[in-house]
């Protein structure tokens, strides 16, 4: 399969509607006939873009990856320090994770496991790389300590998001993810920051907490 999205340019306008259909009906319930009918195109036209349903799902995930990479790049270009960027990155991770219906994740893992594993591995890598870059920026700015294990800290922070989205932790404690996010973010900053970084965080804490709580639950 040609994974270059540039070669599927005409297909791009269909990606949004296809994703919405998958979110609404799941992956298994929509065959190519039903997809083409709901998209308002012929099945023959749909097959000019993709060879089969597996390729269709792969291209949708490729588009997801492309969108996330662009958003991450935009955050990286912001003229703010590492603490501010980490907040933006964390919000992006949360927004991306909460869109997925657990049923879709189950179907991806069960029926399209190879495609999902490849996508998940790439996603984890670029998020990890972003976290690592954030820590190195913070060390250079002297808001993060220079004696931390960069790879380990990046992995722990990334895994905290993945594990908590995949568990019933919030339900067990009767709290929402935004409340948990606030604690995770603050604990992470306090664990790795220099006195200068902590002073900055304290000076911005009220605004940061208000910003976190403005995130849609």
Give 178-211 pLDDT, tens digit per residue: 777 788 889 999 999 999 999 999 998 888 778 7
- Rounded Cα distance between 11 and 23, Å, is 19
Q: Given this model, what pLDDT does residue 143 score? A: 98
Phi/psi for 167 (5° steps) reads: -120, 175
Pick the CATH number of 1-77 from 3.40.47.10, 1.10.357.10, 1.10.10.10, 2.102.10.10: 1.10.357.10
Q: Given this model, what pLDDT does residue 141 score? A: 98
> Which pTM does this prediction carry?
0.81
SS3 assignment, position 52: coil
SS3 assignment, position 193: strand
Choose among 49, 66, 62: nearest CA to 11. Answer: 49
Unique residue bearing structure tokens 């873009």: 49
Q: How are the residues of the chain apportioned to helix, strand and coil, as percentages rounded to the nearest 5?
A: 80, 0, 20
Q: Given this model, what pLDDT does residue 164 score? A: 63
- Rounded Cα distance between 61 and 15, Å, is 10
Residue 47: both structure tokens together: 């097959």
Per domain, the residue ranges of the chain are: 1-77, 82-217
- Rounded Cα distance between 188 and 192, Å, is 6
Higher pLDDT, 21 or 217: 21
Is residue 97 predicted with pLDDT exceeding 80?
no
Number of H helices, E strands in the chain: 11, 0
């Amino acid at each position: 399969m040609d994974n270059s999205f540039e070669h599927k340019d005409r297909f791009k306008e269909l990606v949004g509607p296809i994703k919405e259909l998958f979110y609404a009906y799941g992956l298994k319930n929509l065959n190519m006939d039903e997809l083409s009918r709901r998209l308002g195109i012929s099945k023959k036209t749909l097959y000019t873009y993709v060879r089969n349903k597996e390729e269709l799902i792969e291209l949708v995930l490729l588009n997801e990856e492309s969108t996330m990479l662009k958003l991450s790049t935009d955050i990286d270009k912001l003229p703010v320090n590492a603490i501010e960027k980490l907040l933006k990155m964390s919000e992006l991770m949360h927004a991306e994770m909460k869109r997925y219906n657990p049923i879709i994740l189950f179907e991806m893992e069960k029926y399209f496991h190879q495609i999902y594993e490849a996508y998940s591995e790439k996603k984890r890598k670029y998020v990890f790389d972003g976290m690592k870059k954030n820590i190195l920026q913070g060390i250079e700015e002297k808001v993060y300590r220079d004696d931390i294990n960069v790879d380990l800290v990046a992995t722990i922070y990334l895994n905290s998001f993945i594990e908590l989205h995949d568990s019933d932790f919030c339900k067990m404690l009767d709290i929402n993810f935004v409340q948990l996010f606030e604690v995770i973010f603050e604990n992470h900053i306090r664990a790795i920051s220099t006195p200068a970084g902590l002073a900055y965080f304290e000076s911005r804490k009220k605004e940061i907490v208000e910003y976190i709580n403005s995130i849609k639950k």
